Amino acid sequence: MNPPLSPIRAIQQLPDNLISQIAAGEVVERPSAVVKELLENALDAGATQITVRLEQGGVKRIAITDNGRGIAPEQLPLALARHATSKISSLHDLENVATLGFRGEALASIASVSQLTLTSRTADAGHASEIDGSTLAVTPSSGAQGTTVDVQDLYFNTPARRKFLKSEQTEFGHCAEVVRRIALARPDVSFSLTHNGKTVDHWNITEIAKRSASILGNEFANARLALDEGAGPLRLHGFVGLPTASKARADAQYFYVNGRFVRDKLLVHAVRAAYQDVLHGDRYPSYVLGLDLDPALVDVNVHPSKIEVRFRDSRSVHQFVFHAVSRALAQTSATSFGATPAPLPSPSGAMPWIRGSQEHLQAILQPNTQVPQQQTSFGPQFAPTANGVAQTMANYGALFTGNDPAGGAATYPAAPQQLASQTLPSDDFPLGFALAQLHGIYILAQNTKGLVLVDMHAAHERILYEQLKGALDEDAMQVQPLLIPVTFFADAVEVGTAEENQETLHALGFDIAAISPTTLAVRSVPALLKNADAQTLARDVLRDVREFGGSRVLVERRNELLGTLACHTAVRANRSLTAPEMNALLRQMEATERADQCNHGRPTWSQLALSDLDKLFLRGQ
Ligand SMILES: Nc1ncnc2c1ncn2[C@@H]1O[C@H](COP(=O)(O)OP(=O)(O)O)[C@@H](O)[C@H]1O
Ligand SMILES: [Mg+2]
Ordered by where they begin, the domains of the chain are 16-203 (3.30.565.10), 208-330 (3.30.230.10), 358-459+574-616 (3.30.1540.20), 478-569 (3.30.1370.100)
Q: Percent of the chain, pLDDT > 90?
A: 36
Q: Find the mean pLDDT for residues 298-323.
A: 86
Higher-pLDDT residue of 572 and 438 is 438
**41 CB near ligand 1 (under 6 Å):** yes
Cβ contact 259:183 at 8 Å = no
More confident call, 308 vs 424: 308
Task: Give the span between the Cα atoms of 537 and 18, in whole angstroms.
Answer: 65
What pLDDT, on the 0 to 100 scale, is given for residue 598?
67
* Alpha carbon of 305 to ligand 1 centroid (Å): 15
CB-ligand 1 contact for 106 (6 Å cutoff): yes
Ligand 1 within 6 A of CB of 66: yes
pLDDT digits (tens, 9 = 90+) for 363-407: 322 333 232 222 222 222 322 323 333 333 333 333 443 333 333
pLDDT for position 530: 82
Q: Which of 123-132, 327-336, 533-542 has the lowest mean pLDDT?
A: 327-336
Give 103 Cα–ligand 2 centroid separation in angstroms: 7
Residue type, 382: F
**Is the minimum distance from the CB of 182 to ligand 1 under 6 angstroms?**
no
Cα of 84 vs centre of ligand 2, distance in Å, is 10
* CA dist list (Å): 232 to 176, 292, 294, 316, 317: 36, 11, 10, 11, 11
Would you place residue 413 in the very low, low, confident or very high pLDDT band (cuts 50, 70, 90)?
very low
pLDDT tens, residue by residue, 208-222: 999 999 999 888 888
Between the CA of 140 and the centroid of ligand 2 the distance, in Å, is 24
Is residue 79 within 6 Å of ligand 1 at its C-beta?
yes
> Each residue of 450-489: b (16+ CB within 10 Å) or e?
bbbbbbbbbbbbbbbbbbbbebbeeeebebbeeeebbbee
Cα 43 to ligand 2 centre (Å) = 10
Residue 451's pLDDT is: 93
Instruction: Name the closest-CA residue to atom 12, ligand 1.
Output: 79
Nearest ligand 1 atom to alpha carbon 88 = 23
Task: Count CB neighbours of 594 within 10 A.
Answer: 21
- CB 169: neighbour CB atoms within 10 A? 9
Relative to the CA of 104, which ligand 1 atom is closest?
A: 19
Average pLDDT of 49-71?
97
Measured in angstroms, how far is the CA atom of residue 180 from the centroid of ligand 1? Answer: 21
235-252 mean pLDDT: 88
For residue 101 and ligand 1, the question of a CB distance below 6 A is answered with yes
Which listed ligand is nearest to 80 at the C-alpha?
Answer: 1
Residue whose CA is closest, atom 24 of ligand 1? 85
Give mean pLDDT, residues 475-496: 87
Band of pLDDT at residue 227, cut at 50, 70 and 90 = very high
Is 0.75 surpassed by the pTM of this model? no
pLDDT digits (tens, 9 = 90+) for 155-207: 998 888 888 888 999 999 999 999 999 999 999 999 999 999 999 999 999 99
Which residue among 27, 34, 38, 44 is best mutated to probe the pocket of ligand 1, counting the most ligand atoms within 8 A of its Cβ?
44
More confident residue, 395 or 283: 283
- What DSSP state is assigned to residue 304? T
pLDDT grade, residue 332 (50/70/90)? low
Instruction: Tell how far the Cα of 189 is from the centroid of ligand 1, in angstroms.
Output: 18
Instruction: Check: CB of residue 523 under 8 Å from CB of residue 508.
Output: no
* Centre of ligand 2 from the C-alpha of residue 85, in Å: 8
Task: Write the DSSP string, 572-599.
Answer: PTT----HHHHHHHHHHHHHSTTTTB-T
Residue 147: CB within 6 Å of ligand 1?
Answer: yes
Looking at the CA of residue 146, tell me the nearest atom of ligand 1: 3
Q: How many angstroms does the Cα of residue 44 sit away from the middle of ligand 1?
A: 8
For residue 310, pLDDT beyond 50: yes
Phi, psi of 344, rounded to the nearest 5 degrees:
-85, 135
Is the shortest distance between the CB of 42 and ligand 1 below 6 Å? yes
User: Closest-lying ligand to the alpha carbon of 146?
Assistant: 1
CB-facing half-sphere around the CA of 235: CA atoms within 13 A: 9
Distance from residue 413's CA to the centre of ligand 1 (Å): 72
- Protein residue whose Cα sits closest to atom 8 of ligand 1: 41
Q: What is the pLDDT of residue 89?
A: 85
State whether the beta carbon of 112 lies less than 6 angstroms from ligand 1.
no
User: Which of 37-46, 72-81, 317-326, 529-538 comes out lowest in average pLDDT?
Assistant: 529-538
pLDDT beyond 90 at 541: no
Cβ of 107 below 6 Å from ligand 1 = yes
CA of 144 to the centre of ligand 2 (A): 21
b/e map of 66-82 (b: 16 or more CB within 10 Å)? bbbbbbebebbeebbbb
Which protein residue's CA is at the shortest distance from atom 27 of ligand 1? 86
Which stretch of DSSP H or E encloses residue 531? none
The predicted structure's pLDDT at residue 282: 74
141 closest CA partner among 152, 127, 151:
127
pLDDT band at residue 125 under the 50/70/90 scheme: very high
Nearest alpha carbon, ligand 1 atom 18: 106
Q: Check residue 553 and give its pLDDT.
A: 67
CA dist 39 and 190 (Å) reads: 12
Q: Residue 106 C-alpha to ligand 2 middle, in angstroms? A: 5
pLDDT (mean) for 49-73: 97
> In one letter, which amino acid is 101?
G
567 contacts: CB under 8 Å, gap ≥ 6: 461, 599, 600
CA 41 – ligand 2 centroid, Å: 5
Rounded distance from Cα 45 to ligand 1 centre (Å): 8
Average pLDDT, the chain: 79
The pLDDT score that the predictor gives to residue 209 is: 92
Q: Confidence class of residue 620 from pLDDT cuts 50, 70 and 90?
A: low
Closest residue CA from atom 21 of ligand 1: 101
Ligand 1 neighbour 102 (Cβ under 6 A): yes
**Looking at the CA of 86, which ligand is closest?**
1
Q: Whose CA is nearest to atom 4 of ligand 1?
A: 70
Which amino acid, one-letter code, is at 133?
G
CA distance 478 to 526: 6
pLDDT over 80 (residue 360): no
Give per-residue pLDDT as tens, 13-44: 888 888 888 877 777 889 999 999 999 999 99
CA distance 601 to 588: 19
**Residue to probe by mutation, ligand 1, list 85, 112, 130, 131, most atoms within 8 Å of CB:** 85
Pair 291, 235: CB distance under 8 Å:
yes
Host H or E run for residue 398: none
Ligand lying closest to the C-alpha of residue 36: 2
Residue 71 CB less than 6 A away from ligand 1: yes
Q: Alpha-carbon distance 455 to 457, whole Å?
A: 6
Give the separation between CA 24 and CA 440, rounded to whole angstroms: 63
Burial (CB < 10 A; 0-12, 13-18, 19+), residue 385, is exposed
Q: Which atom of ligand 1 is found nearest the CA of 108?
A: 17
